[in-house]
Chain A
Amino acid sequence: MNCQEALSLLYDIIDKEASEIDVAQVQEHLNRCRDCAGIYKIEESISRLIQEKLKHKEPTPCFDVLKSNVLQQLDDIDAENC
């Protein structure tokens, strides 16, 4: 596998969409290519950090109100169908 092939699989690998064979071949390339290994390392940590920050649970005080409003609407739909 050459650099171009290894880099074309970058996001498939990060997103865990690549086949086992591809994963193994890319790993083999990264073991002997510093440039690609550097790109993989940075791209992986950028993706992971963005995910961590986006998923960081924020307090949603309004969620309970929303939920009870929604359940109330479901009650109304149930009532229509009676």
Chain B
Amino acid sequence: MAESNSDKRSAKRKSFESEAIPHMEALLRTALRMTRNQGDAEDLVQEAIVKAYRNWDKFEPGTNCRAWLFRIMTNIFINEYRSKSRSPVSIDVDDIDENYLYGQLASLGPENNPERELFNKILDDDIKKTIDELPDDFKMVVVLSFIEDFSYQEIADIMDLQLGTVKSRLHRGRKLLQKQLYDYAVKNGYIKERTR
């Protein structure tokens, strides 16, 4: 039996704990949005960390460890979890007006900051629910960009996508999010629907 005494930990274990483990909370935050489920999210993070540890010798020191970990986790999610998660409420991706929310907000009146008033009423949880309902392809780029602040190029590397695909998915994802948020706000009486 190995002694898990901290003094006797291998150099590998030490470097992994100082470089990779600090990103675990961020991994969990993103995993929660990807899986929409606490149990699956924890399993996903655990699986990703174990896989990362087993492959720690392949990580090049000095490169972006956070992106490397997200790439591992995203791959596991795509290959193992995506198929088993229930499919989200279907949204017609093609049917989005380019300036939907802007048009709606601008029509609410010329007084200042209609968007801030709307967002003050929307709760953190409402936004999370809205994100949860995005189709996976869009949700993943939105989460990696909005929550984790990865650059377009980093997201392309993490998800094995072309830069142009990242940009178009992010664009579409934003528009979907705005439409959903607006509909959600109307449904909950946060704002009145614009008369058409």
Contacts and interface: CB of A to CB of B under 8 A. Distances in A.
B46 interface: yes
Contacts of B87: none
B2 A78 contact: yes
B42 A56 contact: no
B106 A54 contact: no
Interface string B1-24: 110100001100100110001001
Interface residues of B, number: 47
Q: Is the interface of B mostly helix, strand, loop or mixed?
A: helix
Contacts, number: 98
Interface of A: 11-12, 15, 17, 38-39, 42-43, 45-47, 49-51, 53-56, 58, 60, 62-63, 66-67, 69-71, 73-75, 77-79, 82
B146 A39 contact: no
A54 B115 contact: no
B45 interface: yes
A-B pairs, top 3 by smallest CB distance, nearest first, are A79-B2, A49-B119, A53-B127
Q: Is the interface of A mostly helix, strand, loop or mixed?
A: helix
B106 A60 contact: no
Contact of B145 (A15, A39, A79): A15
B25 A63 contact: yes
A74 B16 contact: yes
B116 A82 contact: no
B54 interface: yes
Interface string B113-126: 10110010011100
A12 B167 CA distance: 9
B193 to A, nearest CB: 18
A66 B102 contact: no
Contact of A78 (B10, B21, B106): B10
